Structure 1
């Protein structure tokens, strides 16, 4: 028998790594922007060495010891900020929920959902502080001004999260409703909402957490709440009162975060679980 000679198998040639001129140009542009930002901003680099010492100094002024006589005032101001956040979140939910359905592809014609998506994007591009400044010319500097600013900002965020949740549901229930000749309202009620509801509720709670933090910023422009008290005490260098204020704010905010996280987990996963940060 003759032996068959096999040719040695050659290793396949490795393809050349593709080069992307656009990607390289983008990285170069980003690098130039970063360099230009550091170059144009007048940063006193020598002050960075003194920053840890100065930070410890002011922490000591605020917390060693804090002004416990300001606890009641700080707690009342914090609750006012939470109320602003709650009212703003509820108003944002009421407005954004029906608009989210209209902005969802498959639930409304493109001539309707395309402009709504643009409106949501424009709202998200404007900070709540700017919205509050525009509103205060009508309502004045009141806590209601802050609540309205948070409501407008919530519409932009919740509207986007809403239509993304509605478009991401499983197609099976929707096809079942369509096959039976169901109307658009029936499609929303039975084909979309049951699957999207846990995510939507979770988004609402998360937006409330964001609004609680944003309400403190709105207080700095005179909308009331924790930000107004913080501005007044910092202006007059009442550091022990500022320390008491920070303690109350951190405690209340962390409590809201942990409770909201537990509720979100219950809505999404079906059982209660305390977030790790609270353990």
Structure 2
């Protein structure tokens, strides 16, 4: 008795998609005016600028670099806190089962639109009102944080176990009781982890926002790069890398402790 092997289903639309994507990529390369011959000189130019920046760093600028980095961290922290205060209640309203469908739809579209706009564009719009101040950068980070924190928040709420929520409702609790006693205890670790991760993102983004003159280490880095003071630029890059990596490491350790809990000691080995 022979077994008939089913034929592989044909998906002509998938082939059309792949051909279209390939055509777009090829046309993108051909339409951009790129001097491919200069790619040969890129490694040598990178090595030359690295030598200019790090062969003899200007350590006299270290105190100012640390101060400007601290201002960038303050900007990132304020933007994170404001984003949390706005996004957290909105994320609950955007979750299925807790917000009205029209409200939920509007909030989700709003979160998507905010995420589609880079922080630097938001900052350019805000600076027309607040001027070139660190507050401009903090507000831009807060607005952009609402988009990401709101999305992460409602996805976390929708992914919890519905058993405790149903138990609260069965006991006569309303929506607020369900959120307080059924949703929040389960989603709190994820929310705390999201908040810390957003702070990491804001620390890096605050340096980029300095390029438009809102203050912080990015502003200082732009100024010395324009004047081609490479020895000072090298010190600034060292400070940015060390501080950013330190904050990332500390935040990752805290997030791991929140999500995994305290380590369990083996009492049998004691």
TM-score tier after normalising by the smaller chain length:
over 0.9
> Does residue 248 of structure 2 align to residue 250 of structure 1?
no
Query: Counterpart in 1 of 2:195?
Result: 204
Deviation at 1:13, TM superposition (A): 2.3
Indicate whether 1:174 and 2:165 are aligned.
Answer: yes
Query: Do residues 25 (structure 1) and 16 (structure 2) align?
Result: yes
Could you say which residue in structure 1 is the equivalent of 2:216? 225
The aligned counterpart of 2:126 is 135
Please tell me whether the aligned partners of residues 219 and 225 of structure 1 are also in contact (alpha carbons under 8 angstroms).
Answer: yes
Q: Cα offset for 1:115?
A: 0.6
Of residues 39, 44, 49, the one that matches 2:35 is 44
Q: Indicate which of 111, 114, 123 corresponds to 2:114.
A: 123
Q: Which runs of 5+ in 2 are unaligned?
A: 264-270
Normalised TM-score (structure 2): 0.95
Matches within 5 A, 1:1-279: 9-10=1-2, 12-271=3-262
User: SS where residue 105 of structure 1 aligns?
Assistant: coil
| TM-superposition CA deviations, 1:230-275 (whole Å, max 9, x none) | 1101100000000000000000000000000000001000037xxx
| Post-superposition offset of 1:181 | 1.4
Paired with 1:126 and 1:218, the residues of 2 have a C-alpha distance of 14
Distance 2:227 2:10 in 1: 59
How far did residue 26 of structure 1 move? 1.3
- The structure with the largest alpha-carbon Rg is 1
Secondary structure in 1 aligned to 2:180? helix
CA distance in 2, matches of 1:70, 1:166: 47
Q: CA deviation at 1:14?
A: 2.1
Q: Does structure 2 retain, via aligned residues, the 8 Å contact 1:265–1:271?
A: no
- Note the residue ranges of structure 1 that are not aligned, 5 or more in a row: 1-8, 273-279
The Cα of 1:25 is off from its aligned counterpart by 1.4
CA distance in 2, matches of 1:145, 1:218: 9
For residues 57 and 42 of structure 1, the distance between their equivalents in structure 2, rounded to whole angstroms, comes to: 25
* Aligned-CA RMSD value: 0.9
Q: Secondary structure at the match of 2:213?
A: helix
For 1:251 and 1:271, locate their aligned partners in 2 and report how far apart those are by CA, in whole Å: 28
Deviations 1:160-194 (A, max 9, x none): 00000011000111111111111111000011000
SS state at 1:46 partner: helix
Match of 1:276 in 2: none
Alignment size in residue pairs: 263
- Cα distance in structure 1, aligned partners of 2:108 and 2:147: 9
